[in-house]
Amino acid sequence: MTLRIAKLPKPQRGNVDRRINRSDNCADALELALSSAASRANLDAILLVDGDGLLISQNSTSLDLTMLAAVTPIVGRGKAVPRIKRNGEKREMSVCELEIDGDVLYVAALGGDNTSRQRELGRSLRAAERILAA
């Protein structure tokens, strides 16, 4: 007598998309990604800036980030150390460089604790890369 055992189902891995809010519009998708990252890490702001300091995208916030955007490439190139205060309290800023089709962009994160800020900066960098490459 032969014993037959049916194949066990394989567990689902890696195909689960955690993103709830999605958009086919590049600008909206960037804002959603940056807003989600800022919310997860309790950051003041996350922004995407071009090499000239022009704001490309930011998280949903009432803050005017144009001045922060202007200094982001300078900080990203290591030419300045950010000294930023909000409501009299010092805020730390981290900047990463992103190259897309020969253009250098910068993703900056402001506020929060260093560990969370670095984690969400990396996630935002990958999200911007993925969205802009589409």
The answer to whether residue 93 is domain-embedded is yes
User: pTM score, two decimals?
Assistant: 0.81
The answer to whether residue 20 is domain-embedded is no
The answer to whether residue 86 is domain-embedded is yes
The answer to whether residue 3 is domain-embedded is no
The answer to whether residue 112 is domain-embedded is yes
The answer to whether residue 21 is domain-embedded is no
The answer to whether residue 16 is domain-embedded is no
Note down pLDDT in tens along the chain; length 134 residues. 566 666 666 666 555 445 566 667 889 999 999 999 999 999 999 999 999 999 999 999 999 999 999 999 999 999 999 899 988 999 999 999 999 989 999 999 999 999 999 999 999 999 999 999 87
How many domains does the chain contain in total?
A: 1
Distances (CA, A) of 89 to 95, 96, 108, 123, 131: 20, 23, 19, 26, 34
Query: What is the structure's pLDDT at 25?
Result: 84
CATH number for the domain harbouring residue 80: 3.30.450.30
The answer to whether residue 12 is domain-embedded is no
Write out the residue range of the structural domain in which residue 90 sits: 26-133
Helices (H), 44-113: 66-76
